[in-house]
Amino acid sequence: MRDDKPPLGPIESGQLPLVKAPDSIWSSILASLDEDRAPVRRGTHWWVLAAAFSLASAVVLWLTIRPKPPSWEVSRLDGAPSVGSRRLTDSGRIAVGEWLQTDASSRARIGIGEIGSVEVEPNSRVRLLAAKPNEHRLALDRGEISAVVTAPPRLFFVDTPASTAVDLGCAYKMKTDESGSGLLSVTAGWVALEWKGRESLVPAGASCRTRQGDGPGTPYFADASEAFRDALAAFDFQKGGSDSLRVVRGEARVRDTLTLWHLLSRVGRDERVRLLDRMVELMPLPQGVSREKALDLDADTLGRWRQELAWKW
Amino acid sequence: MEMVRTMKYVSLLLALSLSALGADFMLAIGNPAAASIPSTVSPTGGGPVPTKVSKDALFAVRPEGCANPANARITGTAEGLVDGTRQSAALRLLPGSIPGVYVVSREGPPQGVWVVKLTGVCGGAKAGALVPVARGGFQRESAKFYPRPITEAEVEATLKSLSGGAR
């Protein structure tokens, strides 16, 4: 190869001489390539693998031990109910915030933690609101549920548009229609319906209507006369007033003192006197229950009176 | 005259003694919910805490006319006629939230006719109750109460009456 030095001064186009690179340059380039390759093969590769493995292990561990969102077990009874956007084929879970929906041919059972269960009837829509040790809460938007609870009272709640059903150790059915109005029927124990400070205590064998905007009505026994039930509904939701109460008093039997007792605190003094007089006709005031204190709605007096009346309900 | 006066005093003392022993002692029954009445829904409210009421609960029972209801003892069995055969079944008497009050529950065959035979003891006094039961609960109007234990003949007669005389 010629060892020509480049010409001094401007080079005319086409005049740049072609010169071959010396062998020493190629040798030095090859040597430097070998040096660069060796460190990667020996150290860096293992470090990357180790780091990747550690990261993967940490992710798996986190996925395993992380607290799962609270949820209840759901099982299909008939048809194909849905939880959220998922069709339930056999069993699954409903998480807090999710909706369970049944169509005309489907039913489902929800396990209320460890304390009971709720059966959801066709054409119903319920949502899990809370699943905590001291609060188990569902919302019934529409449709019907049957609940059986074996826990101490005030652990299970069902919110409807017209009231909240508070379990006091019981079994009951609750339904709500599209207008938000509903009906509670208790088959064991007690259920309280509350709404904006209004409270109705419903024992086994009794029912209570609810109306959106009015809250819970007055509890009554299902075997009361039709005239009694109609007059009560008129008083509760249609401003039936004294006329309705006259029918209620006239139709009342001994066990209908459940209704009369609740009405005492929902009427004025004059009506209260008439109600109390009718109650005493049906069942004499027990010892220790003062007429005047009852008319004054003394809480202890009313509580003791109810305790005795309940033996006839 | 003196004898008559003495007799009156003795009778009065005897009556008072028997009364103290629970001579007016009887059993009373009611809705199972009567055994555990909630005072209020509010967690801060007073009153007895309702106990759990089983779906199998038939009725509540309590002693009346007993000086110390908490010390009264109440026991019972279910007596029935199933396909003409006389049967007895155990009862569960669970204490309610009020001393002396119990909830009577039974798990037994749904067929046949059944009565619950109860015996209560208060001091030296005894009382009995015979309560017909069915799937829908207890038959309050047909229940019978005595200031003494129920006899087997009374059980038989009640079962025969409930089954329409068929056996």
User: Residue A211's pLDDT is what?
Assistant: 96
Could A169 and B137 be called an inter-chain contact, meaning their C-beta atoms sit closer than 8 Å? no
Which band of pLDDT confidence, cut at 50, 70 and 90, is reported for residue B37?
A: confident
Q: What SS3 class is residue B52? A: coil
pLDDT tens sequence across A226-262: 999 999 999 999 999 999 999 999 999 999 999 999 9
How many other C-beta atoms can be found within 10 angstroms of the C-beta atom of residue B30?
Answer: 21
Could A168 and B54 be called an inter-chain contact, meaning their C-beta atoms sit closer than 8 Å? no
Here the tokens at position A154 are 């005030």
Instruction: List, in sequence order, the alpha helices (H) in chain B.
Output: 2-21, 152-162
For residue B160, what are the contacts with CB-CB under 8 A and spacing of at least 6? B81, B167
- Residue closest to A79 by CA, chosen among A33, A115, A123: A123
Instruction: Name the residue in chain B with its Cα closest to that of A148.
Output: B55
- Is pLDDT above 60 for A55? yes
- Global pTM exceeds 0.80: no
For residue A20, what are the contacts with CB-CB under 8 A and spacing of at least 6? A1, A2
Q: Where are the domains of chain B?
A: 26-39+46-162
d(CA A80, CA A122): 10
For residue B60, what are the contacts with CB-CB under 8 A and spacing of at least 6? A311, B29, B30, B31, B32, B33, B34, B35, B96, B101, B102, B103, B104
> Which of B24, B41, B54, B145 would best serve as a mutation to test chain A binding (most A beta carbons within 10 A)?
B41
CB A174 within 8 A of CB A184: yes
- Is pLDDT above 60 for A151? yes
For residue B35, what are the contacts with CB-CB under 8 A and spacing of at least 6? B51, B53, B60, B62, B96, B97, B98, B101, B102, B103
Phi, psi at residue A237, to the nearest 5°?
Answer: -125, -5
Q: What fold is seen in the domain B26-39+46-162?
A: Immunoglobulin-like (2.60.40)
- On whether any CB of chain A is under 8 Å from the CB of B30, the answer is yes
CB B47 within 8 A of CB B38: yes
pLDDT tens sequence across B84-126: 899 999 888 998 888 899 999 876 666 889 999 999 999 999 9
**Window from A18-22, A135-139, A239-243, A279-283 with minimum mean pLDDT:** A18-22
Here the tokens at position A111 are 């396990």
> Which of the given ranges, A82-91, A266-275, B22-31, B130-139, has the highest pLDDT on average?
A266-275
- Is pLDDT above 80 for B25? yes
Give chain A positions within 8 Å (CB) of B29: 311
d(CA B93, CA B73): 11
Could B30 and A153 be called an inter-chain contact, meaning their C-beta atoms sit closer than 8 Å? no
